[in-house]
Structure 1
Amino acid sequence: MFLLARYILREHIGPFFFALTLITSMLVLNFVLQAMRYIIGKGISLQVIFEYIVYNLAWIMVLVVPMSVLVATIMAFGRMSSDNEVTAIKAGGISFYGLIMPVLLASVVLAIALVEFNDKVLPIANHKARVLKKNIQNKRPTLSIEPGVFLEDLENFSMIVENKDELGSGIYGVTIVDKSQHSVWRTIVAEKGKIEIDESSEAMIVTLENGEIHEMNFRKMESYQTVHFAVHRVNIPVENLTLKKSDETFHNDREKNIGQLMGDVLRHQKERDRRLELAASALSDEPAMMAQLDKKFQVMANDFFLQSSIFEKINEWFVRINIRDTAAVIRPKAELPDDIRLLLRTILKDSIKADSNVAILKNSIGRAVKKDSLQIIGLNVLQDTSRTTKIMTSQQLASNLSSAANYQRMIDQLMVEVNKKYSIPMACIIFVLLGAPIGVKARRGNLGLAGGISLFFFIAYYFCLVLGEDYADRQLLNPFFAMWFPNLFLGMIGVVLTYQTASERTFGLHGIFFWIVDKLIYPIRRMFNRGKVVS
């Protein structure tokens, strides 16, 4: 049995590393082509470019390893099936479960190693890659001029061009605004020009041809000068002409290990619960106001799942409302809009009748909603404006609930990253359960067939993963379910296919799935055979 396990694993080693090299090369090439737009022309050394690629290899490897497992499994079992080795092994008394067990154990070891890689290596590599990318982009920022877009990174200067050469030296339809003198506004317009970089003086020299200089003195508004020129040079001071490596201490969610992420989660949970306690205490301190709020105030909070008894206690006082019933708009991460704050002050002073307050507030809120498309957290209009404390209490309640919702949103985003560090490595195990029965069914061990079948599952898996991450970040799905759904879905299919192959029977929906797989295999196999005959 040990010799058989070693033989099966040896059959997977070659296809695994071949697929790993091939897929990694394709993704690296695609990454390099995308990165060239902010690397070319900046005088970056090959060492820095190589360093940048190596740092980004970390996240590429996390995606490529599960892909390679699926390709290798289909290729290995497909070749063994085509040579009738699977049939011979079964005839020797070893079931299909025993046949895939060594590969499953190897995939478990690989998944554990990938989890450690995600926790220890990936965050550091992501951080270094982001910082290095920022440093590269900051070097010679003027070379990132885009036609039709104002360049505002220049001190005391702004520039826009209609077109430029591919190499970035020639520019056409140039407009430069010189703001170096506070009392004089100078605008330079030219048909074309050329950019030169002087690293010794850290300046950008723009040589302009066939243009005009329009100058206006704000101290003497009646004086307006226009100067025509054939050739004019503008020296613009520019920083960061040489690559300067910074040591940035800030780490985003993808640059933290599991311990750091869970620490942030605990801190956000404490702050969320503290906000909910403040909201609950505001209600419990005044029983009369609780009844009053139940009738006259309704707060629509963001959707989130809170495992807190505090929220359950106050939830009965807060229900969803429509925009038309809204009396205050609160930005999740900002203060009240100025026009609504002014109207609230007017109400507190009792300078307007209550009936008119309702109409004015609703009209203002309607304009604010149409203008900013804000997320609404509203309060029903208080008809009786005699008690200022009630209004202030309602605003505090809305503010605390809004803060709690924001903390819950950050918790969900952190939990997405935590679950992702585990779910993607577990795909190695899932793909073994998928690849082994499909390879036996395909009875071919070539790369074209394995790659064609694997591509279908790659697209399905990573589409669900990306979509789930987006939905979880927007609090439309639970983070755990969003990150583990692709594994659960494909895992169930893999278990069914493995059971069918081991029991040598197909039925129901399982048979339909194998029929779909067969229809997918047949055209790929026919294309491969056609190419083989021609050669």
Structure 2
Amino acid sequence: MKIITRYIFKEMLPPFFINIIFFTFIFLMVQLLEITNMVVNYQMSIIVVGLMLVYSMPYFLVFVIPMSVMMSVLLTFLRLSSDNEIVALKSCGFSNYTFLRPAFLFAFIGWAITSLMIIYGMPNGEMAFKGLISKIAQSSLHIGLKERTFNDSFKGVTIYVSKINPKDKSLQDIFIEDQRTENMISTVIAPKGVILKDINQNIFHLRLHDGTINQVSLERKTTNAIHFDVYDVKLDLEKAISGVKTDTKSEKEMLLSELKDTLKSKTRDRKYYAAAIEFHKKFSIPFSCIVLGFLAVPLGLHAKSSRPSLGLGLGLIFFLLYYLLLSAGRVFAEKGTFPPEVGMWSPNILMALIGIYLFYRRL
């Protein structure tokens, strides 16, 4: 029994690593355009870009590992079936239950790795990524600003820029709402500008040209319009960065203990449901390794063909079904249609029921 378990387990390792490498390659190809843009236009070093990818990997692997576990089990049993090794083992008195042991052992290892990734790797990766972006923004404001996005990182200031040229740091179609002066709201609109940095301090200036300032005095209840040729908006990046570091963590950045503290709240608001979803997801997604690994056993044992393309197709169909159910469960749980635990665990329950049905139907 131990020899058979060890043999089948070893057969699962090559397709597992091939799947991990393949999907990691796909992930890098998807990011290739953004990586090229960072290196060429924003002059980021390869080391910095590499760190950004490393910090993003836990989130990616959380979904790739369960998929790779399922594919490995499926492809292994497809090959064993095609080589008539399954028939030979059954003729020696081994039942289908024999094949569950290596599958569950392999799936358990996948569960352990995925649990580490989603409980520790993903929150720390998100925080490290956030910290790295903050450090980059300290030296390059144009990296921190995003085109066609309202940026409110600076206290009392909201910035919108239609287009940013990273090479000469020029700006086009700028909108700024400045509420840093008490009882005064200033709206600045300019067709063009440029980013300048104070060499001695961590302060940037947005130098705007040919624009208009509309000032509203809340105390006097008056308005004033001023046209300017050149106007500088001072931005203290230190305050913005410190604000980013002390802001409340998102649910993805929280550890289990922090999520539990959030769930102690009696108010059933959006934040509560988001935390509850994230909490249950940290257990349900790793457990999918075991469920999908089990489902792959009857699919592989009784397939009529061992072509890898068939195995890939079957694996993708069931994994996509699982992922669609998980996404739908998240949406309904966020709306409060049904409890978060139902939304996060129902895909596992459904896949397990399908696996049990197929396994006992073909005994």
Provide the C-alpha distance between the structure 1 equivalents of 2:231 and 2:36, rounded to a whole number of angstroms: 29
Shift in alpha-carbon separation, 1:477–1:136, aligned structure 2, 3 A: farther
Provide the C-alpha distance between the structure 2 equivalents of 1:247 and 1:224, rounded to a whole number of angstroms: 36
2:312 equivalent to 1:451: yes
Does the 8 Å CA contact 1:39/1:136 hold for their aligned counterparts? no
Partner of 1:461: 322
Structure 1 unmatched runs, 5+: 273-405, 504-535
- The structure 2 residue matched to 1:493, chosen from 348, 354, 357, is 354
Q: Radius of gyration: which is bigger?
A: 1
Provide the C-alpha distance between the structure 1 equivalents of 2:250 and 2:45, rounded to a whole number of angstroms: 27
TM superposition shift of 1:17? 0.8
Partner of 2:234: 237
Provide the C-alpha distance between the structure 1 equivalents of 2:134 and 2:50, rounded to a whole number of angstroms: 16
Count of residue pairs brought into register by the alignment = 353
TM superposition shift of 1:85? 1.4
Q: Which amino acid aligns with 2:252?
A: R
Structure 2 unmatched runs, 5+: none
Greater strand content: 2
- Deviation string for 1:331-364 (max 9, x for gaps)? xxxxxxxxxxxxxxxxxxxxxxxxxxxxxxxxxx
Provide the C-alpha distance between the structure 1 equivalents of 2:163 and 2:227, rounded to a whole number of angstroms: 25
Partner of 2:67: 67
Partner of 2:118: 118
Q: How does 1:271-290 map to 2 (within 5 A)?
A: 272=266
TM superposition shift of 1:205? 5.9
TM superposition shift of 1:410? 5.5
Provide the C-alpha distance between the structure 2 equivalents of 1:153 and 1:102, rounded to a whole number of angstroms: 52
Name the SS for the 1:238 alignment partner: strand
Provide the C-alpha distance between the structure 1 equivalents of 2:358 and 2:111, rounded to a whole number of angstroms: 21
2:122 equivalent to 1:261: no
Name the SS for the 1:237 alignment partner: strand
Does the 8 Å CA contact 1:58/1:121 hold for their aligned counterparts? yes
Partner of 1:292: none
Provide the C-alpha distance between the structure 2 equivalents of 1:36 and 1:250, rounded to a whole number of angstroms: 32
- Deviation string for 1:407-437 (max 9, x for gaps)? 4776554433332222111111111222222
Shift in alpha-carbon separation, 1:490–1:226, aligned structure 2, 3 A: closer
TM superposition shift of 1:264? 4.2
Does the 8 Å CA contact 1:140/1:240 hold for their aligned counterparts? no
Partner of 2:147: 146
Does the 8 Å CA contact 1:112/1:425 hold for their aligned counterparts? yes
TM superposition shift of 1:494? 0.9
Does the 8 Å CA contact 2:42/2:166 hold for their aligned counterparts? no
TM superposition shift of 1:174? 6.0
Query: Normalising by the residue count of structure 2, what TM-score does the alignment of the two structures yield?
Result: 0.76
Does the 8 Å CA contact 1:155/1:237 hold for their aligned counterparts? no
Partner of 1:299: none
Shift in alpha-carbon separation, 1:121–1:152, aligned structure 2, 3 A: closer
Shift in alpha-carbon separation, 1:3–1:145, aligned structure 2, 3 A: closer
2:332 equivalent to 1:480: no
Name the SS for the 2:236 alignment partner: coil
Provide the C-alpha distance between the structure 1 equivalents of 2:21 and 2:338, rounded to a whole number of angstroms: 35
Name the SS for the 1:146 alignment partner: coil
- Deviation string for 1:109-135 (max 9, x for gaps)? 432443344334433333333444455
Query: Normalising by the residue count of structure 1, what TM-score does the alignment of the two structures yield?
Result: 0.54
Partner of 1:57: 57
TM superposition shift of 1:257? 3.4
Name the SS for the 1:98 alignment partner: helix
Shift in alpha-carbon separation, 1:236–1:101, aligned structure 2, 3 A: same
Does the 8 Å CA contact 2:277/2:344 hold for their aligned counterparts? yes
Provide the C-alpha distance between the structure 2 equivalents of 1:224 and 1:419, rounded to a whole number of angstroms: 54
Does the 8 Å CA contact 1:15/1:75 hold for their aligned counterparts? yes
